[in-house]
Amino acid sequence: LLQGGELKAAEAALEEALRQGVSKIEVLPLLGQVYLQLGETRKLLDTVTLAEMPPGLHAEILTQRGTAMGMSGNLGGA
């Protein structure tokens, strides 16, 4: 869905996957991409965090969070 540009459908599917217990490691990086493309910066900052993420994903998560902060006008935080 994400690759096909179906952003709202991808958002719903990924959020449902989280609710059903799919690993955050698998879902959150993709959900972060969706939130950025939709301009849903608050959702990204509230949902996509480093908690329970392996070090190999930290750079990607921090980049997404920094981008969301910048889009929200928090340039210092970004």
Q: Which residues of 41-61 are buried (b: 16+ CB within 10 A; e: fewer)?
A: bebbbebbeeeebeeebeeeb
Output phi, psi for 49, to 5 deg: -125, 175
pLDDT score of 73: 86
pLDDT score of 28: 96
pLDDT score of 77: 82
Q: How far apart are CA 37 and CA 67, in angstroms?
A: 11
pLDDT score of 13: 97
Q: How far apart are CA 1 and CA 40, in angstroms?
A: 17
pLDDT score of 1: 92
Mean pLDDT by 10 residues, the chain (78 residues): 94 97 96 97 95 94 96 85
Q: How far apart are CA 36 and CA 78, in angstroms?
A: 14
